[in-house]
Structure 1
Protein backbone atom coordinates (compact mmCIF):
# COMPACT_ATOMS: atom_id res chain seq x y z
CA UNK A 1 0.00 0.00 0.00
CA UNK A 2 2.85 2.39 0.81
CA UNK A 3 4.38 1.80 -2.62
CA UNK A 4 1.03 2.51 -4.26
CA UNK A 5 0.70 5.75 -2.29
CA UNK A 6 4.23 6.73 -3.31
CA UNK A 7 3.34 5.97 -6.94
CA UNK A 8 0.39 8.37 -6.60
CA UNK A 9 1.96 11.06 -4.40
CA UNK A 10 5.31 11.47 -6.14
CA UNK A 11 3.84 12.30 -9.57
CA UNK A 12 1.12 14.37 -7.87
CA UNK A 13 3.76 16.35 -5.99
CA UNK A 14 5.79 16.91 -9.14
CA UNK A 15 2.67 18.03 -11.02
CA UNK A 16 1.84 20.37 -8.14
CA UNK A 17 5.23 22.06 -8.33
CA UNK A 18 4.80 22.30 -12.13
CA UNK A 19 1.35 23.88 -11.58
CA UNK A 20 2.96 26.55 -9.37
CA UNK A 21 5.87 27.15 -11.75
CA UNK A 22 4.52 30.42 -13.19
CA UNK A 23 3.77 31.81 -9.75
CA UNK A 24 7.17 30.69 -8.43
CA UNK A 25 8.96 32.56 -11.22
CA UNK A 26 7.35 35.80 -9.99
CA UNK A 27 7.83 35.15 -6.27
CA UNK A 28 10.46 37.02 -4.23
CA UNK A 29 13.13 34.53 -3.04
CA UNK A 30 12.28 34.89 0.68
CA UNK A 31 8.77 33.57 0.01
CA UNK A 32 9.59 30.68 -2.37
CA UNK A 33 9.29 27.93 0.24
CA UNK A 34 5.83 29.13 1.27
CA UNK A 35 4.18 29.44 -2.15
CA UNK A 36 3.64 25.85 -3.37
CA UNK A 37 1.20 24.84 -0.62
CA UNK A 38 -0.34 21.57 -1.79
CA UNK A 39 2.78 20.05 -3.37
CA UNK A 40 4.76 20.86 -0.23
CA UNK A 41 2.08 19.09 1.83
CA UNK A 42 2.24 16.01 -0.37
CA UNK A 43 6.06 16.17 -0.34
CA UNK A 44 5.94 15.99 3.47
CA UNK A 45 3.73 12.90 3.10
CA UNK A 46 6.16 11.35 0.59
CA UNK A 47 8.89 11.70 3.25
CA UNK A 48 6.56 10.11 5.83
CA UNK A 49 5.89 7.18 3.50
CA UNK A 50 9.61 6.71 2.83
CA UNK A 51 10.24 6.69 6.58
CA UNK A 52 7.51 4.05 6.96
CA UNK A 53 9.29 1.89 4.36
CA UNK A 54 12.41 2.17 6.53
CA UNK A 55 10.28 1.29 9.58
CA UNK A 56 10.90 4.72 11.07
CA UNK A 57 8.82 7.68 12.19
CA UNK A 58 9.75 11.30 11.61
CA UNK A 59 7.19 12.99 13.90
CA UNK A 60 7.85 16.61 12.90
CA UNK A 61 7.41 15.72 9.23
CA UNK A 62 4.35 13.64 10.17
CA UNK A 63 2.83 16.66 11.94
CA UNK A 64 3.59 18.94 8.99
CA UNK A 65 2.14 16.37 6.59
CA UNK A 66 -1.00 15.74 8.62
CA UNK A 67 -1.88 19.40 9.18
CA UNK A 68 -1.07 20.58 5.67
CA UNK A 69 -2.65 17.63 3.86
CA UNK A 70 -5.92 18.20 5.71
CA UNK A 71 -5.78 21.97 5.29
CA UNK A 72 -4.80 22.20 1.63
CA UNK A 73 -6.83 19.16 0.70
CA UNK A 74 -10.01 20.75 2.01
CA UNK A 75 -8.98 24.24 0.89
CA UNK A 76 -8.57 23.24 -2.77
CA UNK A 77 -11.88 21.35 -2.77
CA UNK A 78 -13.72 24.37 -1.33
CA UNK A 79 -12.00 26.93 -3.61
CA UNK A 80 -12.69 24.92 -6.77
CA UNK A 81 -16.28 24.18 -5.77
CA UNK A 82 -16.79 27.84 -4.80
CA UNK A 83 -15.60 28.95 -8.22
CA UNK A 84 -18.33 26.80 -9.74
CA UNK A 85 -20.95 28.02 -7.28
CA UNK A 86 -20.05 31.65 -8.06
CA UNK A 87 -20.65 31.11 -11.77
CA UNK A 88 -17.28 29.93 -13.05
CA UNK A 89 -17.24 26.96 -15.36
CA UNK A 90 -15.38 23.93 -14.06
CA UNK A 91 -13.36 21.79 -16.46
CA UNK A 92 -11.70 18.40 -16.04
CA UNK A 93 -8.70 20.01 -14.28
CA UNK A 94 -10.95 21.50 -11.60
CA UNK A 95 -12.54 18.10 -10.99
CA UNK A 96 -9.11 16.41 -10.96
CA UNK A 97 -7.99 18.96 -8.37
CA UNK A 98 -11.15 18.41 -6.30
CA UNK A 99 -10.74 14.63 -6.21
CA UNK A 100 -6.96 14.59 -5.76
CA UNK A 101 -7.08 17.15 -2.95
CA UNK A 102 -9.92 15.35 -1.20
CA UNK A 103 -7.64 12.31 -1.34
CA UNK A 104 -4.87 14.32 0.31
CA UNK A 105 -7.04 15.09 3.31
CA UNK A 106 -8.36 11.54 3.47
CA UNK A 107 -4.92 9.93 3.45
CA UNK A 108 -3.83 12.15 6.33
CA UNK A 109 -6.78 10.94 8.39
CA UNK A 110 -6.28 7.28 7.42
CA UNK A 111 -2.57 7.27 8.27
CA UNK A 112 -2.71 9.44 11.39
CA UNK A 113 -2.96 6.42 13.74
CA UNK A 114 0.55 5.45 12.58
CA UNK A 115 2.02 8.88 13.29
CA UNK A 116 4.05 9.47 16.48
CA UNK A 117 3.17 13.13 16.83
CA UNK A 118 3.58 14.83 20.20
CA UNK A 119 2.31 18.24 21.21
CA UNK A 120 5.59 19.99 20.46
CA UNK A 121 5.72 18.46 16.95
CA UNK A 122 2.23 19.78 16.36
CA UNK A 123 3.25 23.20 17.70
CA UNK A 124 5.98 23.39 15.03
CA UNK A 125 3.47 22.41 12.34
CA UNK A 126 1.02 25.02 13.68
CA UNK A 127 3.66 27.76 13.53
CA UNK A 128 4.60 26.75 9.97
CA UNK A 129 0.98 26.66 8.82
CA UNK A 130 -0.15 29.93 10.41
CA UNK A 131 3.04 31.68 9.28
CA UNK A 132 2.28 30.46 5.76
CA UNK A 133 -1.22 31.99 6.02
CA UNK A 134 0.31 35.29 7.09
CA UNK A 135 2.64 35.28 4.09
CA UNK A 136 -0.17 34.25 1.74
CA UNK A 137 -2.64 36.95 2.73
CA UNK A 138 -0.48 39.75 4.15
CA UNK A 139 2.08 39.68 1.35
CA UNK A 140 -0.29 38.36 -1.35
CA UNK A 141 1.57 35.10 -1.96
CA UNK A 142 -1.60 32.96 -1.84
CA UNK A 143 -2.22 30.41 -4.59
CA UNK A 144 -3.88 31.45 -7.80
CA UNK A 145 -7.57 32.16 -7.29
CA UNK A 146 -10.15 32.45 -10.04
CA UNK A 147 -11.54 35.84 -10.95
CA UNK A 148 -14.78 34.69 -9.31
CA UNK A 149 -13.02 34.33 -5.94
CA UNK A 150 -10.77 37.40 -5.98
CA UNK A 151 -13.58 39.82 -5.01
CA UNK A 152 -13.98 37.65 -1.89
CA UNK A 153 -10.28 37.56 -0.95
CA UNK A 154 -10.95 38.76 2.62
CA UNK A 155 -13.42 35.91 3.14
CA UNK A 156 -10.95 33.48 1.56
CA UNK A 157 -8.27 34.67 4.02
CA UNK A 158 -10.59 34.23 7.02
CA UNK A 159 -11.64 30.80 5.75
CA UNK A 160 -8.01 29.79 5.22
CA UNK A 161 -6.87 30.78 8.71
CA UNK A 162 -9.96 29.11 10.21
CA UNK A 163 -9.19 25.98 8.22
CA UNK A 164 -5.61 26.05 9.53
CA UNK A 165 -6.88 26.14 13.11
CA UNK A 166 -9.41 23.37 12.38
CA UNK A 167 -6.70 21.22 10.77
CA UNK A 168 -4.36 21.73 13.74
CA UNK A 169 -7.16 20.82 16.16
CA UNK A 170 -8.10 17.77 14.07
CA UNK A 171 -4.53 16.48 14.17
CA UNK A 172 -4.40 17.19 17.90
CA UNK A 173 -7.56 15.19 18.60
CA UNK A 174 -6.81 12.37 16.16
CA UNK A 175 -3.08 11.94 16.65
CA UNK A 176 -1.92 13.61 19.86
CA UNK A 177 -4.76 13.59 22.40
CA UNK A 178 -6.01 10.17 21.33
CA UNK A 179 -2.56 8.66 21.99
CA UNK A 180 -2.26 10.53 25.31
CA UNK A 181 -5.62 9.09 26.41
CA UNK A 182 -4.52 5.56 25.44
CA UNK A 183 -1.34 5.94 27.50
CA UNK A 184 -3.33 7.23 30.48
CA UNK A 185 -5.79 4.33 30.34
CA UNK A 186 -3.04 1.72 30.14
Structure 2
Protein backbone atom coordinates (compact mmCIF):
# COMPACT_ATOMS: atom_id res chain seq x y z
CA UNK A 1 0.00 0.00 0.00
CA UNK A 2 1.44 3.34 -1.04
CA UNK A 3 2.06 5.91 1.66
CA UNK A 4 0.05 8.43 -0.36
CA UNK A 5 -3.08 6.39 0.40
CA UNK A 6 -3.09 7.81 3.94
CA UNK A 7 -3.34 11.31 2.43
CA UNK A 8 -6.10 10.39 0.02
CA UNK A 9 -9.74 11.43 0.20
CA UNK A 10 -10.66 7.76 0.28
CA UNK A 11 -8.79 7.22 3.55
CA UNK A 12 -9.36 10.58 5.26
CA UNK A 13 -13.11 10.59 4.63
CA UNK A 14 -13.66 6.93 5.40
CA UNK A 15 -16.53 6.90 7.88
CA UNK A 16 -14.76 4.51 10.27
CA UNK A 17 -11.72 6.77 10.36
CA UNK A 18 -13.85 9.90 10.71
CA UNK A 19 -15.66 8.40 13.69
CA UNK A 20 -12.33 7.41 15.24
CA UNK A 21 -11.12 10.98 14.77
CA UNK A 22 -14.40 12.30 16.15
CA UNK A 23 -14.18 10.30 19.37
CA UNK A 24 -10.48 11.02 19.87
CA UNK A 25 -11.19 14.73 19.63
CA UNK A 26 -14.33 14.46 21.75
CA UNK A 27 -12.43 12.73 24.54
CA UNK A 28 -9.60 15.23 24.21
CA UNK A 29 -12.13 18.04 24.50
CA UNK A 30 -13.57 16.61 27.73
CA UNK A 31 -10.05 16.19 29.14
CA UNK A 32 -9.24 19.75 28.11
CA UNK A 33 -12.20 21.20 29.99
CA UNK A 34 -11.22 19.16 33.04
CA UNK A 35 -7.67 20.53 32.67
CA UNK A 36 -9.09 24.07 32.75
CA UNK A 37 -11.36 23.22 35.67
CA UNK A 38 -9.47 25.13 38.36
CA UNK A 39 -9.06 28.23 36.22
CA UNK A 40 -12.75 28.17 35.32
CA UNK A 41 -13.68 27.91 39.02
CA UNK A 42 -11.32 30.79 39.83
CA UNK A 43 -12.82 32.91 37.05
CA UNK A 44 -16.38 32.30 38.24
CA UNK A 45 -15.35 33.21 41.78
CA UNK A 46 -13.45 36.40 40.94
CA UNK A 47 -14.64 37.64 37.54
CA UNK A 48 -18.03 38.34 35.90
CA UNK A 49 -19.67 35.06 34.87
CA UNK A 50 -19.82 35.98 31.16
CA UNK A 51 -16.02 35.85 30.94
CA UNK A 52 -16.03 32.08 31.48
CA UNK A 53 -16.72 31.63 27.75
CA UNK A 54 -13.25 32.97 26.95
CA UNK A 55 -11.27 30.89 29.46
CA UNK A 56 -10.94 27.33 28.03
CA UNK A 57 -9.19 28.06 24.74
CA UNK A 58 -7.72 24.74 23.51
CA UNK A 59 -10.68 22.51 24.47
CA UNK A 60 -13.06 24.92 22.75
CA UNK A 61 -10.92 24.71 19.62
CA UNK A 62 -11.03 20.93 19.89
CA UNK A 63 -14.80 21.11 20.37
CA UNK A 64 -15.13 23.15 17.16
CA UNK A 65 -13.15 20.52 15.25
CA UNK A 66 -15.17 17.67 16.76
CA UNK A 67 -18.41 19.36 15.68
CA UNK A 68 -16.96 20.24 12.27
CA UNK A 69 -16.48 16.54 11.56
CA UNK A 70 -20.23 16.00 11.91
CA UNK A 71 -20.81 18.15 8.83
CA UNK A 72 -18.41 15.87 6.92
CA UNK A 73 -20.11 12.75 8.22
CA UNK A 74 -23.63 14.06 7.62
CA UNK A 75 -23.80 16.58 4.76
CA UNK A 76 -26.88 18.77 5.05
CA UNK A 77 -29.07 20.37 2.39
CA UNK A 78 -30.47 23.15 4.54
CA UNK A 79 -28.77 26.44 3.65
CA UNK A 80 -29.03 27.64 7.26
CA UNK A 81 -27.39 24.49 8.62
CA UNK A 82 -24.73 24.70 5.93
CA UNK A 83 -23.87 28.24 6.97
CA UNK A 84 -23.71 27.24 10.62
CA UNK A 85 -21.48 24.31 9.72
CA UNK A 86 -19.19 26.53 7.66
CA UNK A 87 -18.66 28.92 10.55
CA UNK A 88 -17.93 26.03 12.92
CA UNK A 89 -15.49 24.55 10.40
CA UNK A 90 -13.72 27.88 9.96
CA UNK A 91 -13.50 28.26 13.73
CA UNK A 92 -12.15 24.72 13.95
CA UNK A 93 -9.31 25.47 11.55
CA UNK A 94 -8.30 28.89 12.84
CA UNK A 95 -8.49 28.05 16.55
CA UNK A 96 -6.97 24.57 16.25
CA UNK A 97 -3.96 25.91 14.38
CA UNK A 98 -3.65 28.90 16.71
CA UNK A 99 -3.95 27.10 20.05
CA UNK A 100 -2.15 24.00 18.83
CA UNK A 101 0.94 26.03 17.99
CA UNK A 102 0.48 28.38 20.96
CA UNK A 103 0.51 25.62 23.57
CA UNK A 104 3.64 23.99 22.15
CA UNK A 105 5.45 27.32 21.89
CA UNK A 106 4.53 28.31 25.46
CA UNK A 107 5.75 24.99 26.87
CA UNK A 108 9.11 25.36 25.14
CA UNK A 109 9.30 29.02 26.17
CA UNK A 110 8.72 28.01 29.78
CA UNK A 111 11.50 25.47 29.56
CA UNK A 112 13.86 28.00 27.99
CA UNK A 113 13.34 30.24 31.03
CA UNK A 114 14.35 27.46 33.39
CA UNK A 115 10.98 25.84 34.01
CA UNK A 116 10.82 22.18 35.04
CA UNK A 117 9.84 19.54 32.50
CA UNK A 118 6.94 17.22 33.29
CA UNK A 119 5.66 14.17 31.44
CA UNK A 120 2.33 15.95 30.92
CA UNK A 121 4.18 18.56 28.88
CA UNK A 122 5.12 15.97 26.28
CA UNK A 123 1.54 14.74 26.16
CA UNK A 124 0.37 18.31 25.59
CA UNK A 125 3.00 18.88 22.91
CA UNK A 126 1.85 15.76 21.03
CA UNK A 127 -1.88 16.46 21.36
CA UNK A 128 -1.66 20.15 20.47
CA UNK A 129 0.60 19.48 17.51
CA UNK A 130 -1.99 16.99 16.29
CA UNK A 131 -4.70 19.66 16.66
CA UNK A 132 -2.91 22.02 14.30
CA UNK A 133 -1.99 19.32 11.79
CA UNK A 134 -5.41 17.70 11.53
CA UNK A 135 -7.10 21.07 11.06
CA UNK A 136 -4.90 21.93 8.08
CA UNK A 137 -5.32 18.44 6.62
CA UNK A 138 -9.13 18.62 6.75
CA UNK A 139 -9.55 22.10 5.31
CA UNK A 140 -10.06 20.56 1.87
CA UNK A 141 -13.05 18.59 3.12
CA UNK A 142 -14.71 21.54 4.82
CA UNK A 143 -17.10 23.74 2.91
CA UNK A 144 -16.48 27.17 4.43
CA UNK A 145 -15.45 30.18 2.42
CA UNK A 146 -14.20 33.71 3.07
CA UNK A 147 -17.22 34.99 5.00
CA UNK A 148 -17.02 32.20 7.58
CA UNK A 149 -13.25 32.65 7.81
CA UNK A 150 -13.72 36.35 8.62
CA UNK A 151 -16.19 35.45 11.39
CA UNK A 152 -13.75 32.90 12.81
CA UNK A 153 -10.90 35.38 12.69
CA UNK A 154 -12.90 38.09 14.44
CA UNK A 155 -14.00 35.67 17.16
CA UNK A 156 -10.42 34.55 17.79
CA UNK A 157 -9.18 38.15 17.98
CA UNK A 158 -12.04 38.93 20.37
CA UNK A 159 -10.99 35.99 22.52
CA UNK A 160 -7.42 37.30 22.63
CA UNK A 161 -8.67 40.76 23.58
CA UNK A 162 -10.78 39.37 26.41
CA UNK A 163 -7.90 37.19 27.64
CA UNK A 164 -5.39 40.01 27.96
CA UNK A 165 -7.79 42.79 28.91
CA UNK A 166 -9.30 40.90 31.85
CA UNK A 167 -6.32 38.64 32.63
CA UNK A 168 -8.20 35.44 31.84
CA UNK A 169 -5.54 34.09 29.48
CA UNK A 170 -4.51 30.46 30.02
CA UNK A 171 -2.41 29.98 33.11
CA UNK A 172 1.24 30.10 32.08
CA UNK A 173 4.34 28.28 33.28
CA UNK A 174 5.60 30.13 36.37
CA UNK A 175 8.73 31.26 34.54
CA UNK A 176 6.69 33.25 31.99
CA UNK A 177 4.68 35.53 34.29
CA UNK A 178 7.38 38.18 34.01
CA UNK A 179 6.89 38.08 30.23
CA UNK A 180 3.10 38.39 29.91
CA UNK A 181 3.38 41.34 27.53
CA UNK A 182 5.60 39.29 25.20
CA UNK A 183 3.16 36.37 25.44
CA UNK A 184 0.30 38.76 24.59
CA UNK A 185 2.11 40.08 21.52
CA UNK A 186 2.97 36.56 20.41
CA UNK A 187 -0.66 35.48 20.88
CA UNK A 188 -2.11 38.23 18.70
CA UNK A 189 0.57 37.65 16.06
CA UNK A 190 -0.16 33.94 16.07
CA UNK A 191 -3.87 34.60 15.59
CA UNK A 192 -3.15 36.63 12.46
CA UNK A 193 -0.78 33.91 11.24
CA UNK A 194 -3.42 31.24 11.87
CA UNK A 195 -6.03 33.16 9.90
CA UNK A 196 -3.51 33.51 7.07
CA UNK A 197 -2.65 29.78 7.27
CA UNK A 198 -6.35 28.89 7.06
CA UNK A 199 -6.77 31.24 4.09
CA UNK A 200 -3.77 29.74 2.27
CA UNK A 201 -4.90 26.19 3.04
CA UNK A 202 -8.38 27.02 1.80
CA UNK A 203 -6.98 28.58 -1.35
CA UNK A 204 -4.88 25.50 -2.01
CA UNK A 205 -7.87 23.23 -1.38
CA UNK A 206 -9.91 25.05 -4.00
CA UNK A 207 -7.17 24.36 -6.56
CA UNK A 208 -7.01 20.65 -5.73
TMscore range, shorter length:
over 0.9
Cα distance in structure 1, aligned partners of 2:26 and 2:204: 30
Q: Deviations over 1:59-101 (max 9, x none)?
A: 1000000000000000000001111111111111111011100
Quote how far apart the aligned CAs of 1:132 are: 0.4
Q: Which residue of structure 2 aligns with residue 124 of structure 1?
A: 151
Q: 2:27 aligns with which of 2, 11, 14?
A: 11
Q: 2:192 aligns with which of 130, 150, 165?
A: 165
Quote how far apart the aligned CAs of 1:42 are: 0.4
Quote how far apart the aligned CAs of 1:178 are: 3.4
Quote how far apart the aligned CAs of 1:119 are: 1.1
Cα distance in structure 1, aligned partners of 2:97 and 2:35: 20
Q: Which residue of structure 1 aligns with residue 73 of structure 2?
A: 53
Higher deviation after alignment, 19-28 or 63-72: 19-28
Q: Which residue of structure 2 aligns with residue 65 of structure 1?
A: 92
Cα distance in structure 2, aligned partners of 1:90 and 1:82: 11
Q: 2:140 aligns with which of 82, 102, 113?
A: 113
In the superposition, the TM-score normalised over structure 2's length comes to 0.83
Q: Deviations over 1:132-176 (max 9, x none)?
A: 00011111010010110111100000000000000001111111x
Cα distance in structure 2, aligned partners of 1:141 and 1:47: 25
1:178 partnered with 2:204: yes
Cα distance in structure 2, aligned partners of 1:107 and 1:26: 32
Root-mean-square deviation (CA, aligned residues, Å) is: 1.4
Q: Deviations over 1:4-29 (max 9, x none)?
A: 11221111100000011111112231
Q: Deviations over 1:25-60 (max 9, x none)?
A: 122311111110000000001101122111346110
1:31 partnered with 2:51: yes
Cα distance in structure 1, aligned partners of 2:100 and 2:152: 16
Gapped regions of structure 1 (runs ≥ 5): none
Q: Which residue of structure 1 aligns with residue 5 of structure 2?
A: none
* Aligned partners of 2:64 and 2:89 also within 8 Å: yes
Which structure has the bigger radius of gyration? 2
Gapped regions of structure 2 (runs ≥ 5): 1-16, 77-81
Cα distance in structure 2, aligned partners of 1:92 and 1:79: 15
Quote how far apart the aligned CAs of 1:179 are: 5.3
Q: 1:144 aligns with which of 155, 160, 171?
A: 171
Q: Which residue of structure 2 aligns with residue 98 of structure 1?
A: 125
Cα distance in structure 2, aligned partners of 1:169 and 1:122: 10
